[in-house]
Structure 1
């Protein structure tokens, strides 16, 4: 597959850990220049160490950005434009999924602060990233926007809380709006919906929750961040130019829509 990535610029929110970081590595291998950001200083430092060779070569940057602060997002995009030029690919991978000692919150008792915080990061943050990327994509008549959704936003959530499930499901609606409003400018918007993927967020494969998940998955295992990143990079490629408004499930067969 020819990704067409040489010289292009990709921005990845939540790109300092897990699926986002795996995607950054894959983009860099394909010749992109890449800007990633995360919420915590620790994750940014670790991503910087992982991407050190590309950073030293001037092909990558890792920054700390709080998606709840529009001015911080705008500053990051301004920095990327100054360093690399206009982004042509946006991957919205950032997400939080809070759980208490007894598991996820119930709809009837979820604190308003938790609800607002999750939607602010997982959904509104993605929309704001689009706002800062779209003008250049529209002017250049090319753009690829990929939202990282979740199995929890596709079917009955068994592990995630209500705010997380709602925020991930809503990304499909945001994608459809982008298709309607920006498709004529050569911009595509799609969703990759991972199932249970072995990352820092899901914890060790040996945990009780993950062992139960494995029993539900026809593939008989958890997925990997690299498997999800492969789907993301395909949707960013030239070959995916006629794929628009799709949801690509990467879940080992746990959920098979008709």
Structure 2
């Protein structure tokens, strides 16, 4: 069976906007079926309607899920299994990055509540999604897991808060652990680390923060969600079967680990 066929099931967390929605669209264009979830019902409805209109409602599965609520994650994957079957592709994209009017919370003012909230979504939520999806991949001897990190977890952070940075940096260690555990079972685990991308989370393109970012990016612009989605899409394909444990930076040259 070709993994680009409509038999292939992909899950994209945080798939209702920005990079996640662009990734869902990319996977659907390739021929996959795609299950997405997000926390805001209005975004879920909007994304489901748009994707269903373009690719057919029979190939789109969308639900509201709060990654901080483990029972909702379990319910999502159980319902997906009953409707379509087990996922072969998992893109862990959902994440939160709390900021106030003046930017992220200063380190000494971070509350335990904020710290735990960020890690529960960005890191623990990713772990729980992998726990739900990987047994099915093992059973099929095929799986593609892509974790969406961040330039903030790769270089000195310029915009992101401490909890967000810690959660994204931790994904590399988490990926290594999965690779060691599932070696030889047809499963690859990779990380894509976007830089400054033009999404709702990044705010208006002409904001002071974004203009400062563009000034330091060698490419001279912000990235587009579709550019990150293309990298994710390749890592989930058959052609990327020998890429395992890589971190792909998509940042226009802002961080160059050469």
TM-score by length of 1: 0.97
Give the equivalent residue in structure 1 for 2:254.
254
Give the equivalent residue in structure 2 for 1:39.
39
Once the two structures are TM-superposed, the CA of residue 137 in structure 1 deviates from its matched residue by 0.5
For 1:69-104, what per-residue CA distance to the aligned partner results, in whole angstroms no more than 9, with x for missing partners? 111101101111112111000000000000112211
Once the two structures are TM-superposed, the CA of residue 105 in structure 1 deviates from its matched residue by 1.3
Q: Judge conservation of contact 1:5–1:27 (CA < 8 Å) in 2.
A: no
Once the two structures are TM-superposed, the CA of residue 116 in structure 1 deviates from its matched residue by 0.3
Once the two structures are TM-superposed, the CA of residue 55 in structure 1 deviates from its matched residue by 7.0
How far, CA to CA, are the matches of 1:36 and 1:125 in structure 2? 14
Is 1:104 the counterpart of 2:114? The answer is no
Q: Judge conservation of contact 2:92–2:148 (CA < 8 Å) in 1.
A: yes
How far, CA to CA, are the matches of 1:93 and 1:152 in structure 2? 15
Instruction: Count residues in correspondence.
Output: 257
- Following superposition of structure 1 onto structure 2, how do residues 1-258 of structure 1 map, counting pairs within 5 Å? 4-53=4-53, 56-258=56-258
Once the two structures are TM-superposed, the CA of residue 48 in structure 1 deviates from its matched residue by 1.6
Once the two structures are TM-superposed, the CA of residue 5 in structure 1 deviates from its matched residue by 4.4
How far, CA to CA, are the matches of 1:25 and 1:52 in structure 2? 10
How far, CA to CA, are the matches of 2:182 and 2:5 in structure 1? 21
For 1:33-79, what per-residue CA distance to the aligned partner results, in whole angstroms no more than 9, with x for missing partners? 11000011121122122212267441011110010111110110111
For 1:144-197, what per-residue CA distance to the aligned partner results, in whole angstroms no more than 9, with x for missing partners? 000000000001110000000000010111111111110211111000000000
Q: Judge conservation of contact 2:28–2:55 (CA < 8 Å) in 1.
A: no
Once the two structures are TM-superposed, the CA of residue 7 in structure 1 deviates from its matched residue by 1.6
How far, CA to CA, are the matches of 2:42 and 2:11 in structure 1? 19
Q: Secondary structure at the match of 1:27?
A: helix
How far, CA to CA, are the matches of 2:176 and 2:6 in structure 1? 28
With 104-113 and 142-151 compared, the bigger mean Cα shift is at 104-113
Q: Judge conservation of contact 1:191–1:247 (CA < 8 Å) in 2.
A: yes
Instruction: Please list every run of 5 or more consecutive structure 2 residues that lacks an aligned counterpart in the other structure.
Output: none
Q: Secondary structure at the match of 1:183?
A: coil
Q: Judge conservation of contact 1:123–1:168 (CA < 8 Å) in 2.
A: yes
Q: Secondary structure at the match of 1:94?
A: coil
How far, CA to CA, are the matches of 2:5 and 2:16 in structure 1? 20
